[in-house]
Amino acid sequence: MSHQPRDLEQIQHWMQTIISWPGGVEDGIASEAAQSRIPLEPDALETVITASSQLTSLERVGIYANAYYARLLECLSEEYPALVTAMGKQAFGVFCMEYLQKYPSASYTLADLGARFPQFLREHRPPAEVGEDEVNWTDFLIELATLERVYSEVFDGPGIEQVTLLTAEALNAIAPEDWPDLRLKMAPCFRLMQFQYPVHEFITNARKGDAPTIPEQQTTSLAITRRNFVVRREAVTPAEYFLLSRLQEGLQVGEAITQLAESGLMEFEDLGNQLHEWFKHWTASAFFIDVC
């Protein structure tokens, strides 16, 4: 049987298709994507990949496919180390392989590989009739994955390293009567999140190499940002979370403070002094980068 000559680029694209095919090498070879590159009958693989003295053509290609998925698993493990600690390596590996079947790598950068992993865990949440402890365990894992992914996005995303930051002196120079009408521009790397568990503490301990226990359920609000290429997070009070969320939505400072005062989250007489301390700290932490 004669065969069309094949150039290197053609073979490379075909090889990439079959070793990364979610259903496995044999399904990859039979796929339309691979067949459009190199049409092959099921028993004709050796016309492209020769067998060795010890391995068949399919076994040789399988080595590359296994290495490909091993590398993806390594990348996911590096992005979600606390989740690995919580789930165990074996269970995490099983979930990863299922994840890669449903959401195969489709980007030029591995930074996008784990973007849908929290969503995948939500999609595989046990049914409602499962016992309460198991459901809570699942919720904890989903929140853990969500925060670890946010850390990655904040680290890889736009930051403030090249930005002239807002200073306390600049804020102090604003006339008191002008404050209510101001809007604050948040840093592009700023994130405000709320969880059912103190997952940030579990992540910190896990990344230090400790063996943390699963924490008790506790509503936790976090402010997350990046300074000098280091992702930083801190727990904030319910009142801080309320005010920061309103400012992040674009409300004027006066509107946001009025809503906080009406929320009942703190005593009105304590609000004035607390606001001064909060804005001083938030400015030093570079939550804001400008006023408008």
What b-and-e string marks burial along 122-147, b requiring 16 or more CB atoms within 10 Å of the CB? eeeeeeeeeeeeeeebbbbbbbbbbb
pLDDT value at 273 more than 80: yes
Residue pLDDT, tens place only, 110-138: 899 999 999 999 998 876 555 555 547 88
Contacts of 156 (CB under 8 A, 6+ apart): 111
- What predicted TM-score, i.e. pTM, was given to this entire model? 0.85
Residue whose token pair is 């993806």: 72
Ramachandran angles phi, psi of 44, nearest 5°: -110, 15
The phi-psi region of residue 155 (left if phi > 0; otherwise alpha if psi is between -120 and 50; otherwise beta) is alpha
Number of other CB atoms surrounding residue 264 within 10 Å: 9
Residue pLDDT, tens place only, 207-251: 888 888 888 999 999 999 999 999 999 999 999 999 999 999 999
Percentage of the chain beyond pLDDT 70 is 95
Mean of pLDDT values over 39-53? 83
Q: For the chain, give every domain's residue range.
A: 8-113, 160-291
Q: How far is CA 119 from CA 141, 190, 245, in A?
A: 11, 21, 23
Mean of pLDDT values over 248-272? 91
Picking from 39-43, 94-98, 199-203, 234-238, which range would have the lowest pLDDT averaged per residue? 39-43
pLDDT value at 252 more than 90: yes
Predicted local confidence at residue 152, as pLDDT: 97
Task: Please give the mean pLDDT across all residues of the chain.
Answer: 89
Predicted local confidence at residue 114, as pLDDT: 95
Cα 135 to Cα 126: distance, rounded to the nearest angstrom: 7
Cα 193 to Cα 209: distance, rounded to the nearest angstrom: 25
Which of 184, 216, 197 has the alpha carbon at shortest distance from 283?
A: 184
Q: What architecture is domain 160-291?
A: Alpha-Beta Complex (3.90)
Predicted local confidence at residue 127, as pLDDT: 65
pLDDT value at 147 more than 50: yes
Residue pLDDT, tens place only, 176-202: 899 899 999 999 999 999 999 999 999
The phi-psi region of residue 228 (left if phi > 0; otherwise alpha if psi is between -120 and 50; otherwise beta) is left
- Identify the band that residue 1 occupies on the pLDDT scale cut at 50, 70 and 90: very low
Predicted local confidence at residue 39, as pLDDT: 87
Percentage of the chain beyond pLDDT 90 is 53
Picking from 16-30, 87-101, 118-132, 185-199, which range would have the lowest pLDDT averaged per residue? 118-132
